[in-house]
Structure 1
Amino acid sequence: MPQESSRPAADERFSKRKAPATKERRGEPRKPAAERNERTPENIIFGIHPVREAIEAGTEIEKIYFRKTAGETLSPAERTQVGAANALREQALEADIHIQEVPIEKLNRLTHNGNHQGVAAVIAAIRYKDINELTEELEAQIAQGEAPLVMLMDSVTDIRNFGAIARSAECAGAAALIMPAKNSAPVNAEAIKSSAGALTLIPVCRVGSLKGAITRLKNIGMQCVAATEKSNTLVYEADFTRPTVIVMGAEDRGISRDVLSLCDVQAGIPLMGRIESLNVSAAAAVILFEARRQRFEQA
């Protein structure tokens, strides 16, 4: 008689293995973060007192998240925390720090279920330059006959584009980058990597009002050139040998109307193909190095 094979049948050998049941699947509660050896990212601080101390110490803060409590039923202890958090919110606004309300679940994720008291702050990866200090430095350069070049980004929110623009600006010898405190890509590790480290080399100003920043720069003798495909003037026709602020807008909406109205020149890049526009970082590189070309020829 033929012997029976000890090998499993094909359907048994190739059947999918079931993953072992996790504690969550078995209905057991998940361990606290500390017991799972999870660590809060080093650029996150949380809790009302630590965040307040960071603000008062002048620590560069990218953003502060506050717990969204509207419509929630709060315990007496939570209501006390909300009162303290509201005072901290006012302090943050006075310091021109961007704030955002988020569900408690996001705060729990950011802090790995730490005792955040409804507040968590993201520490900036770089130290921003004060717009007043930058204006004074640029004014001194202009007084000495120099023509500084500044890149201003209006709501460029994509991190890779932001980093690429910073890289091109640094390579082209720009004096600084200016960005809005709201509606802008964060300056974090990914942005620094995308910039090939340029964001740690070129001064970056984060301002509450782009209009206010432009007005300051125009008052010291700088012209503002807006990059827009809607202009009949080409970038090659603009005079970049003067002290200049180049203004780039968001890819989807372009430069905001309020900012555009303050610009002295609107210029576009001629496109010969069927695609209607360049990526904003590519367009920024073209304009920056057109400015550099004109300055080389003048020298």
Structure 2
Amino acid sequence: MSESSEIIVGRNSVMEALKSGRSINKIFIAKGERQGSVKEIIGFAKDNGLIVQEVEMKKLDELAKGMRHQSILAFAAPVEYVEVEDILAQAQEKGQAPFIVLLDELEDPHNLGAILRTADAAGVHGVLIPKRRSCPLSATVAKTSAGAVEYVPVARIGNVAHTLKDLKKQGLWVVGADMDGDKDYYEADLTGPMVVVVGSEGKGLGRLTKEHCDFLVRIPMRGKINSLNASVACSLLLYESLKQREMKAK
């Protein structure tokens, strides 16, 4: 497989990708396959917090498209993930208050791509996505982002609540977009070090995530539909925050 490809096939190729530190989204192994190097790969992947999923051999055959997969393949991210600390350090280097987006179980790659595009335009320092039940970086995300995936650092996180707790300890305010918000988003102070949290397309923010927000803001809805597309909702908040930051700097 070429280096730019989204799928890496075969035991040696997958193991080398893991050892090199390549950003891997997920590993598929054939059901019941736990022998030799596959067992070693599973151990290595789990030690590094990567998702390993058992699938039918037929599924691997379809994804490998005729290439010899040896019962295993991996999905690689089109760009490298970073650490949360890298994002905070980048803000510090620029002499700016950290401006971060956290996506709570967002699953649509088109929404993620659109959010990365807006994040780049609005001056966001980085985007955080959970490792589980969230859309990873993929070719579809990269394409929808119109190149923004190359410029906006993305970090994969474990537990959302723990991450928010850590960021709050470092002085960041956490604002969540939610229909039950305390005030309309343009009435809230969206300046200073901040994490903007946006929920999934269907369920919105999870209960625990809401509890770890400092405040919730709502987007007023005057029509028959009661919610906006996640990427549109995120765009409104990011640009309101950008406007407030620039007004404050004058």
Give the TM-score normalised by structure 2.
0.91
Unaligned 5+ segments in structure 1 are 1-38, 70-78
- Partner Cα distance (1:158, 1:238) in 2: 28
* Counterpart check, 1:119 vs 2:69: no
Matches within 5 A, 1:23-102: 42-69=5-32, 82-102=35-55
State the secondary structure of the residue aligned to 2:245: helix
- CA distances 1:37-61 after superposition (whole Å, capped 9, x unpaired): xx9x933222223211211111111
- Partner Cα distance (1:174, 1:266) in 2: 19
The one of 265, 271, 287 equivalent to 2:215 is 265
Matches within 5 A, 1:228-243: 228-243=178-193
Shift of 1:68: 1.8
Shift of 1:167: 1.0
1:206 corresponds to: 156
- Partner Cα distance (1:220, 1:65) in 2: 37
Asked if 2 retains the 8 angstrom alpha-carbon contact of 1:64 and 1:121, the reply is: yes
* Counterpart check, 1:253 vs 2:216: no
Paired residue type of 1:125? P
RMSD: 2.0
Asked if 1 retains the 8 angstrom alpha-carbon contact of 2:88 and 2:98, the reply is: no
1:227 corresponds to: 177
Which deviates the most, 222-231 or 191-200?
Answer: 191-200
State the secondary structure of the residue aligned to 1:297: helix
Unaligned 5+ segments in structure 2 are none
State the secondary structure of the residue aligned to 1:263: coil
Asked if 1 retains the 8 angstrom alpha-carbon contact of 2:119 and 2:238, the reply is: yes
- Partner Cα distance (2:59, 2:161) in 1: 33
Taking every aligned residue pair, what percent have the same amino acid on both sides?
A: 34
Shift of 1:208: 2.1
State the secondary structure of the residue aligned to 2:35: helix
1:288 corresponds to: 238
- Partner Cα distance (1:141, 1:242) in 2: 16
Asked if 2 retains the 8 angstrom alpha-carbon contact of 1:238 and 1:265, the reply is: no
Which deviates the most, 129-138 or 241-250?
Answer: 129-138
State the secondary structure of the residue aligned to 2:183: coil
State the secondary structure of the residue aligned to 1:150: strand
- CA distances 1:60-116 after superposition (whole Å, capped 9, x unpaired): 1121111122xxxxxxxxx6x535423321210111222222111111112234332
Structure number with larger C-alpha Rg: 1
State the secondary structure of the residue aligned to 1:126: coil
* Counterpart check, 1:156 vs 2:116: no
- CA distances 1:152-183 after superposition (whole Å, capped 9, x unpaired): 10111111111111111111100001111122
Asked if 2 retains the 8 angstrom alpha-carbon contact of 1:104 and 1:118, the reply is: yes
Asked if 2 retains the 8 angstrom alpha-carbon contact of 1:135 and 1:216, the reply is: no
- Partner Cα distance (1:112, 1:286) in 2: 41
- Partner Cα distance (1:160, 1:130) in 2: 23
- Partner Cα distance (1:42, 1:249) in 2: 29
Runs of 4+ more than 3 Å apart? 81-84, 135-138
Shift of 1:141: 5.7
- CA distances 1:97-140 after superposition (whole Å, capped 9, x unpaired): 222221111111122343322210112101111123334444x3
Shift of 1:200: 1.2
Asked if 2 retains the 8 angstrom alpha-carbon contact of 1:141 and 1:148, the reply is: no
* Counterpart check, 1:110 vs 2:32: no
Paired residue type of 2:122? A
